[in-house]
Structure formats: C-alpha cells, structure tokens
Structure 1
Amino acid sequence: MNDDLISKKELLDLTGISYGQLYRWKRKNLIPEDWFIRKSSYTGQETFFPRLKIIPRIDKILNMKEDLSLDELADVFSPSLGEVHLSAGEILDRNIVTSSALNLYIQVTGHQDHFAFDKMLMIYVLDKLLQSGDISLDEGKLLLGTLEEHLSIFSGKDCELILIRKMGVAAFILLSSGSTICFDQGVKVVTSLFMAQCTEELKLKIGGSEA
C-alpha cells in the first residue's frame, strides 16, 4: 500500500535532526537508499520519505544511539535474518513470544527443534496479531500458512503483510512495500505490518534477552 510521504524539510523540522545526521545515517545503511524518493515540486526536485517508515526509524536511532554504535545499529536495521537459533524453551524463557503463539506454530508446522530467525519471525508476527486481538487462532493458522509458503520470496527485501476481511472471512496478503493495491467496497483492511519493522523489533528482543 502506498505510504504518505513527508518532505526532507518537514522531516528535519519534525525530528530535530540535521541534514548531516540524515545523510551520515544513510551512508551507514541505517536508512535505506530507496527511502530517499526524488519527486518534482513547485520548487523543483525535492526529496521525500515514506512517513510511516522514516519517523519510527529516526525515533529508534535517536533512542538507541547512546547505547549502540552506528555499525551495531546498522546490524539491527539490516534485512539479514541472522544466524541465531533458539530452542522452544529458550524462546519462552526469554519472553520473546507467548506460549500460545509458539504452541500454535508447532501444531501447524510440526517444527519443534531449534528455531532459526526466519521461523521466530513468523511466530513473532503471529504473536503480535494474536495479542492485539486482530486474529483468532484459526486465522493464525491461515497466517502461518501464508508466511511459510511465501515469505521467503521477499528475503532481503521489505514487504508488507495486510489482513483484510470480507463478509467476516479473513485473508492475508504479502506485497512489496510501496506497491499499490486496491480493494472493492466490501473489503475491510483490518491491519498491516511492515516485515522489516517486525524484524528490527525481534532482533532487539533477542538482543535484549541476552543482556
């Protein structure tokens, strides 16, 4: 789905950061190149950013840069899924997800050995939507089927997960971030999640639980 855009001037005014900081973070890969969108305006060419992504990212950088170096922050924000593997017991002991989400994943997939990061990401997304009340357990099974089958297509790239309902029936859609998608009038968009943001949150939870 298309994001609202914010101009570079508005962004700098809103966040209080400098032009130099913004482009230093770009060079360090804390802010992706494709978030810098050049568009024509009445003043000529101007740089815009996807509002729903750039503002939370800058908030995180500002809140975390006292504790982590820019290189460490770049690793947190990297789309890489990392090499970490945890057992079911370790996941629960570290409060990374709830037992209901983990047990549902095991029930649906049969996987109960050590979990790689991509598997934990699926469970984390499931847990977020269960905890928010946006989905039922049966819809959670549908979600897991969607992620298991299609999430690997977007490996290394950001994508958006959208939950829709029509006449009470749920459906999940994965699409490249920034893509345009249109629905008929009978479709209700329940929620959407940026998978890159979920990846960052999960990395922080895993890192924090190791401290």
Structure 2
Amino acid sequence: MSRTRAVASEGPASPPAVAVATQVFRTPPMRVDNTSDHSQIPDDHPTSTTKGTAMSTLPYRTLIHYKRWATNGLNAVVAGNLERMPEDERVLVRRLLDHIQVVDEIFRHNLEGRPHGYGAPRSVELPSFDVLAREARSTADWYADYVDALTPEEVNETIAFSFANGEPVRMTRGEMLLHVAMHAGGHRGQVALLLQKNGIQPFPDRITDFLDAEDARSQRQVPAEVMP
C-alpha cells in the first residue's frame, strides 16, 4: 500500500485551533502521511437499503452504520462495568473514547466546511463517561444520516483542509469517512483489551455480527402477510 503525502501550503498555514475545510476539488486527491495527530442499532435507526442508491456508496454506508452499532454496543458494556475497573484504567477508557469522539467531530466539521475549534485531537477537559456516550450517539447518528444522503459524485470530491496541528491536506469525502471508521475501530480494540484485562466481556463487534444483527432486524420489520 503506497504511503501518501501532505500537500504544500498555499500561503500561511491555518492556525491549529481553526483546522477547517477550505475548498472542494474534483481532481484526484493528494494524500497524507497520517490523518491523526499523534450495541445494537436500535430499530428506530435502520440502515438505509434504498435500491436507487448507487453501489459505489454502499461500502461507506455499511462501515459508518457498522461503526455506530459497534460504538453504541461498546458504550453499553462500559456503562455497566466501568466502576469494576481500577481508577487509572477508568480514566484511560474515557481518554480513548474522548479521542475517538473529538476526531469524529473534527472530520464532521471538515465535511461540513466549518471550523471545529480543536487545537488537538482530545478535549481540554476530559468529559464524564455519560457525556461521552451521549455525544458519541449523537455524532454517530449524524454520520449515518450524512452517508445515507451521499451521492457517488460527492464521495469522490476532494476537500482541502488542515489538521489540528495546522498541516494542510486534501482527502476525498470517501477517504475521510474511511478514516473515521477505521480510526475508531483501532481505539475500540484498545478499550476492549482493558475490559478483558478486568474480566469483562467486550461487545462482540465483528462486522459479521453487525450483518447478522441487520438481517435479524430486517426480518422483524417484514410484515407478516409477506412472510413465506
């Protein structure tokens, strides 16, 4: 897999606290070295399966809906077991969840072309777990709605923005969504290891489990008169 490079800055670099998408291109993107500065889906949040949606957007939709399912499932396990863990590891779990949430919000704002105000990929003050779980659910819902409405043309649009450290980059919307999904998965694994270390069973967040859950949910929603 080829490594990628940051684009050269055209003019002064953006201030670190104002890393914002500035321009949309339709040319192939120049890539970046590093895009990081260092439960079940409830039935009221179904995965969109509209037949008219182009297949080129399907992988992004699947990954983002999977991410929401896995995030909510992990947070449900943490909510019921956090107090069983040593104090230092409770803090570490919160730091990992906060880092996921901040990166999600940074990329959400870049997708929207708005300044996010973060000077680093973490909160200045570490939020409580309850706040983190609530904000993660809201952000995950936004991403699911966003990717459901994404067109094939938008997937390939290149956005110029700066990381929180001021480094200018270009990525397509699709690449940004892939980063959000893959970045969160790595850190969920770290939280899962901390849970296992304390004898707590993590949420089974394999993508095959997600697809099985989606199939089961779809079956529950099929009207009885059309069932074979």
> Which structure's residues are more often strand, by fraction?
1
Compute the TM-score of the two structures, normalised by the length of structure 2: 0.29
Compute the TM-score of the two structures, normalised by the length of structure 1: 0.31
